[in-house]
Homo-oligomer: A and B are copies of this chain.
Amino acid sequence: MAGIFYGIGVGPGDPELLTLKAVSVIREADVIIAPKTEKKEDSVALSIAAPYVKENVQIVKLVFPMVSDSDTLSEAWEYNKNVIVDLLKAGKKVIFLTLGDPMFYSTYIYVFRLLENCGYPIETIPGVPAFCAIGSKLGYPLVEGNDILSIIPATASPDKVDKALSVTDNVVLMKVYKNVNDIVDKLHQHNLSGQAVMISRCGLPEEEVICDLDSLKGRKINYLSTILSRRG
C-alpha cells in the first residue's frame, strides 16, 4: 500500500458537523499526527474526531513551533517532516486534524507546505469553519446581497484592523481574547457595534453568547471566541 497524507477539517465542534468524506478517511487512518503547540484548538480537533477514530490507531505527537519563532523552527519542522515521510514510506495512511477548515488560519497550512514536494500524495478535506456554524446557530446572516465580509484576526495591527473595519459591511472578528477592550472600542467607532454578538466555544461544552459588547470589557475571554457584526 502506498503512503498518503490527509489534512482534514473536523469543523467547529459538533461531531455531527464533520463531512462524510472526513469521517470515512478518519475511520481508515493508520496514524494521526497530533500537534503539540500553544494553540489549544489542536487537541480540541482530536476530541471532536474521537468518535470516528479506530481503536488501534497510532497517535504521533509532534511539536510544531509557531512560525514567528524562526530559530527553533527549521530544526523542529525538519524533524517533523522526517517523521512523517518515514511513516509515508512505510505505506501508512497519515492524517492531520484541524479545527474548522484546514486552509483557514491553521497549523496545517505550514505542514502542507512542508510536505508539498515530498513525493507522496496529499489530500486536503475542507471543513465547516467556526464562523459558519456560529451564523447558523444564532440565526445571524453572515453576509448577503452585494455586501462585503471581512474576516479579521484581532491580533492584526490596530491600524490594519481600523482600515478593514472602515470599508467592510460585515465582519467576523477572530482571536478576540487578546485585546477585547480595544476591539469593542473600534466596533463602536466604526458603527459596527449595534448588532454585534460574541460567542465562545460554539457547539462545545460551556458555550456562551454575549450581546452586550460593553460587558466584555475587562473580562477574561475564552480562547475560542468570535465576534460577528454588521454595519448599522
Contacts and interface: CB of A to CB of B under 8 A. Distances in A.
Contacts of A153: 145-148
Interface residues of A, number: 59
Given A19-B17, A109-B144, A128-B126, A139 B151 contact: no
Interface in A5-27: 7, 9, 11-12, 14-21, 23-24
Contacts of A135: 101, 103-104, 124, 126
Interface string A139-167: 11111111111111101110010011001
A122 interface: yes
A17 B126 contact: yes
A199 interface: no
B16 A18 contact: no
Contacts of A101: 128, 132, 135-136, 142
30 contacts: A12-B126, A14-B21, A15-B20, A16-B19, A16-B20, A20-B20, A101-B128, A103-B140, A104-B135, A109-B144, A112-B139, A112-B141, A116-B139, A122-B139, A125-B136, A126-B128, A126-B132, A126-B135, A127-B132, A146-B155, A146-B157, A147-B153, A147-B156, A148-B150, A148-B151, A148-B156, A148-B160, A149-B151, A150-B151, A164-B168
Most buried by B among A12, A163, A168: A168
Contact of A167 (B137, B149, B164): B164
A129 interface: yes
A102 interface: yes
- Copies of chain A in the complex: 2
Contacts of A160: 148, 167
A150 B147 contact: no
Interface string A90-130: 00000000000111111001001000100000101111110
A114 to B, nearest CB: 12
